Amino acid sequence: MITNKLINPTPFDVEIEWNRGIVLKIQADSEFELTMPQLEDFRDGKPGSEESKSLLDFYGLFLLDGDRSWEEQAITALRKSHKEKQERFDNFISRIRDSRIAQGSPVDDEALEEMSKRNGYDRIKKQCEQLQRRITHLSGLLESSGTKGKVKETLDPKRTCFITSPPKQFPSETALHLFLMDQTDEFRAKHDAYTKSLLGEDE
């Protein structure tokens, strides 16, 4: 069953312009509750839904299905985003290479890298690398554990980061783990220490 929760399993903040100048701000590693009119715009089969779906695919977002595990839905969204962004980057490099060849200019990695930075495509390349890291991790997790089942709605210390302000609860332990992957060693150490203390696992 599709819910009104728009999930962002990526490490990037996303802003989507909605109706009448309203901007939906979906923070990295979080969820955003849509209003009913907003939800209707993102549901399959509705007018304009194809455009909305393309946006979700590019940014790696998904509407939470309460009958499927978060992990399975997240890896699908991450793969779609990686594919879209990798294709955009590859097409840019191809256009630059063809243009330089036509002009008789040298085509080398240094020149392509400089053009990527100048046009902001180095950021897309970096995002692809970060997305692939999460995809690889999630893929290994799903293969080893076969994580399935419905989304749990109960408060669980094992999927909450209490050292952020305010504390940040994630839809699954995996979502929390992906968030921690992009934090500093000091941050992870503080989180681990606090969680062990909370769960009574102090040595």
CB of 135 closer than 8 Å to CB of 86 = no
Q: Can you give the pLDDT at residue 109?
A: 77
Q: Can you give the pLDDT at residue 131?
A: 97
Residue with tokens 């690398």: 129
Q: Can you give the pLDDT at residue 98?
A: 86
Distance CA 196, CA 163 (A): 13
CB of 74 closer than 8 Å to CB of 85 = no
Q: Can you give the pLDDT at residue 154?
A: 43
CB of 162 closer than 8 Å to CB of 194 = yes
Q: Can you give the pLDDT at residue 66?
A: 79
Q: What is the pLDDT of residues 88-101, one digit of tens each?
A: 999 998 888 888 78
Distance CA 46, CA 83 (A): 25
CB of 94 closer than 8 Å to CB of 38 = no
**Those residues with Cβ within 8 angstroms of residue 203's Cβ, 6 or more apart along the chain or in another chain:** none
Average pLDDT per block of 10 residues along the chain, 203 residues long: 91 90 92 90 75 92 87 94 96 87 78 84 94 93 63 62 79 90 91 79 55
Quick count: other Cβ atoms within 10 Å of Cβ 183?
16
pTM above 0.75? no
φ and ψ at 12, to 5 degrees?
-120, 135
Instruction: Give how far Cα 147 sits from Cα of 9, 106, 140, Å.
Output: 16, 50, 11
Q: Can you give the pLDDT at residue 97?
A: 84
Q: Can you give the pLDDT at residue 80?
A: 97
Q: Domain extents for the chain? A: 2-65, 70-145, 157-198
Q: Can you give the pLDDT at residue 200?
A: 67
Q: What is the pLDDT of residues 67-89, one digit of tens each?
A: 788 889 999 999 999 999 999 99
| Element containing residue 3 per DSSP (H, E) | strand 2-8
